[in-house]
Amino acid sequence: MNRALKQAQKAFDIGEVPVGAVLVYKEEIIAESHNSPISTCDPSAHAEINVIRDGAKFLKNYRLNNTSLYVTLEPCAMCCGALIHARVENLIFSAADLKSGAVVSNGNLLDSDFINHKVNYLQGLLQDESSDLLKRFFSQKRL
């Protein structure tokens, strides 16, 4: 998760919402990225989507079996859908996103009966560090 926090700091430094993600396959980091929708003019360029894309290219397979995705903020509905379709095995996230989070805060998508793949998840790892970075970012935007 420390690597994901470093990615979040990179996003912060370029004016993107500071969310970072790391994708691990069999204990090896295969992708790391941060939010980049503003700089790429791509509304889907969330940190999770970026590492899923890069991980799929690395593995030469869109199914990311035996992977764990670490991210500094609870994924939104779009990212939850990508986790399911990519068959990510484990999701570990830091801070809850009370506004847009779709894992535990709103909708609990990963626990839905209608999905065809269950993603295991754990929340709260380095939560304070992630929350502090997000608070600093948004406090600067509101000046």
* Tens-digit pLDDT profile for residues 116-134: 999 999 999 999 999 999 9
Question: What is the structure's pLDDT at 141?
Answer: 77
Is 60 exceeded by the pLDDT of residue 72? Answer: yes
Q: In the 8-state DSSP scheme, what is residue 141? A: H
Q: What is the CA radius of gyration of the chain?
A: 14
* Cα–Cα dist 13/5, whole Å: 12
Is 89 labeled as catalytic in the residue annotation?
no
- From the candidates 48, 74, 89, 129, give the one annotated as an active-site residue: 48
Domains of the chain: 2-141 (3.40.140.10)
Report the predicted TM-score, pTM, of the whole model to 2 decimal places.
0.95
